[in-house]
Structure 1
Amino acid sequence: MQQSLVWKPWDNPGVEHLNLDIDSNGVNASSHLLQNIRGNNIAATYTLNCDARWRFRRLWLKVDNHGPRSLELRRDMRGQWFLNGVLRDDLQHCQQVMLSASPYTHTPALQRCALEVGQSEQLAVAYIDLLSLKIEARLQRYHCLQQNNAQTLYRCEAEGHPSCELTVDQFSLLQKASEQFVRVSQRRLHLNTWV
């Protein structure tokens, strides 16, 4: 499955355009975003790779805010985390990555949890602030509140942030995060096989 998605912040200028490719080898997302964060304009590009079971494997991130900065964060098969090749023991209990200004990064977490209505799960995430590029381990809990054929409603309680409600589609791709983001476009991409 290949998709192209666009989100915009709820009340700030900005946009995120993400291409998502899911196949038997894994899940690969590549994104470009422009946002105003705490009065600072940033441009960011990232690629986020998960295995076929939505387990985080690698993030490459470049942010431009008064000059470009980049990082590579990866998690090996033993669960060890490396930032630019250097072991980060403080992230060893983390299961996913969460980017401060990207609605997509809820998707791998929700896919891994696979919650039914009334269930909840707490995850440790490697939270990355896109403005400072500071990375820290944080706790995040998802509660599944409602579910129908096309949408699921979750409450997300993230350490250090007020809780919010997330409305996602059948693929756990965010449609709306209360007062944070709204999806404005989604297209399924098809390969033209005509010769």
Structure 2
Amino acid sequence: EGGWTDGSVELPDLKGAIDVDIFPTPFTNTLPIRRLGLGAGQSANIAVAYITLPEMSVTSAPQRYTCIEPLKAYRFESLDSDFKCDIEVDGDGLVVSYPRLFRRMR
């Protein structure tokens, strides 16, 4: 249900964050894309545990995913900044292209 702890200490800032977003990797975008199962035109706002490497800092981050075409294209938006990007995925929901940041190599 999105409860997080550091050892036995509850982390209330992360309450409700079901997914993780680890920077720098596009793999963690696959988690909400698969879990949400959005149809074309559908959107969902979520909270994630945003982890930066190598610092290992963890913060709550509000995000929105909008399905452009199921298991093909999604719009990702960071709701606490101006960042948005259309992500291309394969049939398994794995990121193929994340413009300006990542592209899967063959």
- TM over 0.5, yes or no? yes
Cα distance per residue 1:67-100 (max 9 Å; x no partner): xxxxxxxxxxx54212344321211111100011
Going by fraction, where is strand more abundant, 1 or 2?
A: 1
In 2, Cα distance between the equivalents of 1:163 and 1:141? 9
Task: Classify the secondary structure of the residue corresponding to 2:34.
Answer: helix
Quote how far apart the aligned CAs of 1:161 are: 5.4
Asked if residue 92 in structure 1 is aligned to residue 15 in structure 2, the reply is yes
- Structure 1 vs Structure 2: percent identity of aligned residues? 31
Going by fraction, where is helix more abundant, 1 or 2?
A: 2
Asked if residue 181 in structure 1 is aligned to residue 102 in structure 2, the reply is yes
Aligned to 1:141: 64
* CA RMSD, 1 decimal: 1.7
Q: Give the alignment of 1:111-130 within 5 angstroms.
A: 111-130=34-53
Q: What are structure 2's unaligned runs of at least 5 residues?
A: none
Aligned to 1:101: 24
Cα distance per residue 1:11-69 (max 9 Å; x no partner): xxxxxxxxxxxxxxxxxxxxxxxxxxxxxxxxxxxxxxxxxxxxxxxxxxxxxxxxxxx
TM-score (norm 1): 0.50
In 1, Cα distance between the equivalents of 2:48 and 2:83? 16
Q: What are structure 1's unaligned runs of at least 5 residues?
A: 1-77, 186-195
Paired letter, 2:48: V
Cα distance per residue 1:88-129 (max 9 Å; x no partner): 121111110001101100111111110111101111000011
Paired letter, 2:66: H
Higher mean displacement: 128-137 or 166-175 = 128-137
Quote how far apart the aligned CAs of 1:142 are: 0.6
Report how many aligned residue pairs link the two structures: 105
In 2, Cα distance between the equivalents of 1:85 and 1:182? 39
Aligned to 1:153: 73
Higher mean displacement: 97-106 or 156-165 = 156-165
Bigger Rg, which one: 1
Aligned to 2:91: 170
Quote how far apart the aligned CAs of 1:131 are: 3.6
Task: Classify the secondary structure of the residue corresponding to 1:184.
Answer: coil
TM-score (norm 2): 0.88
